Chains A and B, each alone.
Chain A
Amino acid sequence: MIDIARVKAVIKEDILIKRLELEDITPEEIEDNTPLFGEGLGLDSVEALDVVAGIEQIFGVKLQGISPEEFKKHLYSVETLAQFVVHKGDNQEAS
């Protein structure tokens, strides 16, 4: 079982702040439900790709092959992304 609090911390610190180089924002400022794209954190589409690559590299979880609606839903916030990682990670462990 993956610890969701740890996943959220890694997404904020290692993926959003370090990987995307959001120097002027601290992990503490990013709320779990803040929108990542289009508003809130204001990430663009190439940054979305970098988030996807970071998720795959760190957690071994892929977002390839899912519908645009699902893609948007999972990448909405740190909370939804962490939930996706935890559930997909658990499924991968079980299979």
Chain B
Amino acid sequence: MLKIFALKHSTKLDSLVFQEILSYLDKGEQERILKFYRWQDAERSLLGNLIIRATICDLFQVKNSDFEVFRNEMGKPYINNMPQVFFNISHSGHWIMGAFDSFPVGIDIEQIKPLDLNMGKSILAANDYEEMLKMKAPDRLKHFYKCWTLSESYQKMLGSGVTLPLSSTNNLYDSAFFTNHIIDDYILSICSSHGLFSERIIYTDTEQLLNLIR
């Protein structure tokens, strides 16, 4: 069963906690995290790594040192010596989300922030853009983000990247299975090759995750 984890991150981590989490990561990942300009980005990426490692330690009863996390050429993380493990991470604003499954999975969360919707014409598929124009103003933004997160979650499941304009949502629904959640002012889309979604999101915190990895 596909499992979804959510971690809220709204205040800066204690420096000792930051260093502890960093110590659990591969050298290359540590260097990548330390190169971020903004601490928020560094910590979101760090905590995404913590979700991956702690969850795999817990689900498969392995030690953190038993596996390495690699990235494909599009930046998608994977583990090479556990072929039955599929996972994906997404973060936006205060939320870091992780999806874990025995089959390929993609996840995308976005904070619904004001956006110049005129750019939707060159980004959305023609039918999704036309549908957006028929909507009342407050619903248009949500529609835009829904189309975006559906497409992102699909691309992330495949391990590929963005092409513009996006595929139409009708084509996406014909190609894979999707579920959506609204969390505060965020929209979350999850894409799977099967339709067995858990309705429950597992909310966790840094301390719980650290206890799984220590």
Contacts and interface: CB of A to CB of B under 8 A. Distances in A.
B148 to A, nearest CB: 7
Interface in A1-52: 24-25, 29, 34-35, 38-42, 44-46, 48-50, 52
A39 B49 CA distance: 14
Given A45-B152, A50-B115, A68 B123 contact: no
Contacts of B74: 68, 72
A1 B7 CA distance: 49
Interface in B39-79: 40-42, 44-45, 73-75
Interface residues of B, number: 34
Contacts of B33: 39
Contacts of A34: 37
B35 A40 contact: yes
- Most chain B CB inside 10 Å of its own CB: which residue of A24, A34, A48, A53: A53
B204 interface: no
Given A48-B162, A64-B165, A71-B161, A40 B36 contact: yes
Interface string B161-177: 11111000000000000
A29 B119 CA distance: 28
Nearest to B118: A53
Contacts of A49: 119, 123, 148
A82 B108 CA distance: 29
A39 to B, nearest CB: 5
Contacts of B38: 24-25, 42
A90 interface: no
B192 to A, nearest CB: 20
B163 A62 contact: no
A68 B148 CA distance: 15
A51 B169 CA distance: 23
